[in-house]
Structure 1
C-alpha cells in the first residue's frame, strides 16, 4: 500500500509518517510545502528508508499534484496539510482560507482526476482521508460531548476554514463518489510539536525561566490526545472506516488550561529542579477573541466500530512528552530561536 501524506513534515503529519513506517508495511510519499511549522528534522529517522519519499509541493498547485499522483500512483491520501494555529488565524486569516479551503479543493480535484482513471478494483480500494479538528463543532457548555452528529458551529477563522474543508470533502463523496473518510480530533500533544503551541511553549518557557502566559483565568477546557495515539487512530480510520463517514478521535482527558500548565510546572520541578517553583512563572493575560469555553469528544464510535482505544493516559503521555523535550534540545532549539527572534513566541498564551 502506498500512501500520499500531505503535511507530513508537521507535528501530527510526522507522527503519522513515523507510525506508518514503524507499524505497517506501507510506503509513504510525504508532500509538504515546508511552511514555518514544518520541519524535516522530525523525519530524520525515516528519511533514508526505501519506503519513504519526500516531495516539496504546495497543495494549492494543481499541476504539481497531478504530477505527484501520476508519478507515485498512491492507493490512499491522508490529508493533514493545514494552517492550524488559532491565534495566527485571528492575526492573518487569509492564509487559512488559501490553504485549508482552496488547498483542500485543489487536492480533492487532483485526487478525483486520478481516482476516476483507476481500474475498478483500485477505485473501490482507494481512500481519501481528511484529518480535521473538533473545533469545527464550536463551544460546549459544562456538560455533554461532541458526537459525529453534532452540528457545526465554528467560532474562529481557523475552525471556520476547517469546517469548510470538511464540507468540501463530504460534498466530493456525495456528488462524485470519491471514497472519503473524515476524522475530527481533540487537542494533540507529544513529541515534535512546534514551540508556539500550549504544551511545548509551557515546557520550554518553564525550562528557561520565562513567563508562562495563560489566557483569562485558564478555565477553558480541552480534551487532550497524545499524538501517537492519534496516529494509530488515523490508521484505523483509513483502513477500516466506511466511505462517506466521519469519526471523532479523543483522548478522554479533559483538563482546564490552568491544570495543564500547573502539571507541566510540577513535572519540570521534579525532573529539572529550579530555585523557585515554576508555578510562580504563571502570568494571566487578556483572553483571546471568541475563545471557546470547552471541547470534549465522544469517541464511542471509533471505539466500537474500528476497535481503537488510546494507549496513553494524560499522566503517562505528558511525562513522556516533557522528557522528550528534555532529551531533544537539538530538535527544538533552532525553532525556538527562530520564533523568539521574530518577537512572537513571548506574546502567545495558553489556548
Structure 2
C-alpha cells in the first residue's frame, strides 16, 4: 500500500493556462476540489475555473472564502438550461449528480443521464480539450465476497430489477455517453469512479457514516456514537485532498476513453471506523451498535487503485488523517480542539 501524499507541496498540479468548467462545485466533492485547485493556483499561477451554480449569490453568502478566490468565476444556470461554456474552456469536470433520491427514480435518471449528455454536447461545441466524468463505484454493483478489491475491468453491474440500483445504473449510462462522445466526436473523455472519501466539506448527517460519526464524536452532549447497522460492512476512505489530487490526475493524465477508480484500498469495518473516530476525537464516549447481526454476509466496497496510482496519485492509508480532515482538527490539539 502506498503512503499518503504530501498534497501541500510537490503534488499540486501545474494547471497554469487551463480554464476548467466545473459542475457540482457547490457539493462536497466540488468544494473539496476547489480547495485543492486553490493550492494548484498558489503553486502554479494562471488557472481559471468557472463553476456552474443555480444561485451565485447564495453560494457566495454561504462560502465567501471560496467564492472570492481570484481565479474563480461563478455562472448561474443548471444542466437543463446550460449557458454556453465560456470562451477558452480547455477542460470540463462534471461532478454534479445528487447521490440520494429526491423527486423520484425516473427523474434521478433524467438528471444524471440527461445532464451528462447536455454537458458533453456543450463541451464538443466549445472544443474543450478534456472531459472528466466523476462517476461512482456503484456502477460495479455488489462486490463479491471473494473479491478483495474491485478493479476497473470487473464486469459486474447493478441489478436492474431493484429500484435501489437506479444511481449505479444511471452512472453506467452516463459513462456510456462519454465513451460514445470519445469514439464518435473525438472528445477526450475520462471516467473517474469515485468511492468513499472524507473531507471537511462532508455533510454530517445520517446519509454518510463517516460524517455522522464525527458529528456524534464532536457533540457537546454525552450522546454515543451510533452505528445504525450491525457494523460489519466494510468500506475504505480516501482523504479529500488526495481525492481531489487523484481527480485532477485523471483529468490531466488519464487515457481518453479510460476509467480510473478513485479511493482507498485500506479496508475498515463500519464498527471499527466508529471506534477509531471515538478514540481519535472523544475517548470518553461510547460506541453503540443499533442493528442486529446480519446473515453472515458482509457488504464490501473497496477499490483496486493501481491504475490511478500508476499515474502518480496515491491510496490514502492513514485513516487518522482522514478523520482529522473531516473534523477540521489539527493533530497538535487533539482530542477535542476543533478548528471549523
- State whether TM-score is above 0.5: yes
> What is the root-mean-square deviation of aligned Cα atoms in Å?
2.8
Which position in structure 2 is the counterpart of 1:129? 132
Question: Is the CA contact (8 Å cut-off) linking 1:203 and 1:322 kept in structure 2?
Answer: yes
Please state how far the C-alpha of 1:129 moved relative to its aligned partner: 0.6
Check if 1:278 corresponds to 2:290. Answer: no
Check if 1:65 corresponds to 2:113. Answer: no
Q: Secondary structure at the match of 1:182?
A: strand
Which position in structure 1 is the counterpart of 2:299? 293
Alignment of 1:192-341 (within 5 A): 192-196=201-205, 197-206=208-217, 207=219, 208-210=221-223, 212-270=225-283, 273=284, 277-280=285-288, 282-284=289-291, 293-304=299-310, 306-310=311-315, 313-324=318-329, 327=338
Q: Which has the higher helix share?
A: 1
Instruction: Provide the rounded CA distance (Å) in 1 between the counterparts of 2:97 and 2:87.
Output: 22
Which position in structure 2 is the counterpart of 1:150? 154
Q: TM-score, normalised by structure 1?
A: 0.77
Identify if the C-alpha distance between structure 1 residues 84 and 328 changes in structure 2 by more than 3 Å, giving closer, same or farther.
farther
Of residues 85, 92, 115 in structure 2, which corresponds to 1:77?
92
Which position in structure 2 is the counterpart of 1:336? none
Q: Secondary structure at the match of 2:237?
A: strand
Which position in structure 1 is the counterpart of 2:52? 31
Q: Deviations for 1:119-169, whole angstroms, at most 9, x for unmatched residues?
A: xxxx6xx00111111111112214332111111412522222212211111
Please state how far the C-alpha of 1:65 moved relative to its aligned partner: 3.0
Check if 1:52 corresponds to 2:57. Answer: no
Instruction: Provide the rounded CA distance (Å) in 1 between the counterparts of 2:107 and 2:277.
Output: 32
Question: Is the CA contact (8 Å cut-off) linking 1:27 and 1:52 kept in structure 2?
Answer: yes
Identify if the C-alpha distance between structure 1 residues 311 and 261 changes in structure 2 by more than 3 Å, giving closer, same or farther.
closer
Gaps of 5+ in 2: 1-17, 160-164, 330-335
| Residues matched between the structures, number | 300
Identify if the C-alpha distance between structure 1 residues 114 and 323 changes in structure 2 by more than 3 Å, giving closer, same or farther.
closer
Instruction: Provide the rounded CA distance (Å) in 1 between the counterparts of 2:298 and 2:182.
Output: 30
Q: Secondary structure at the match of 1:147?
A: coil
Question: Is the CA contact (8 Å cut-off) linking 1:9 and 1:34 kept in structure 2?
Answer: no
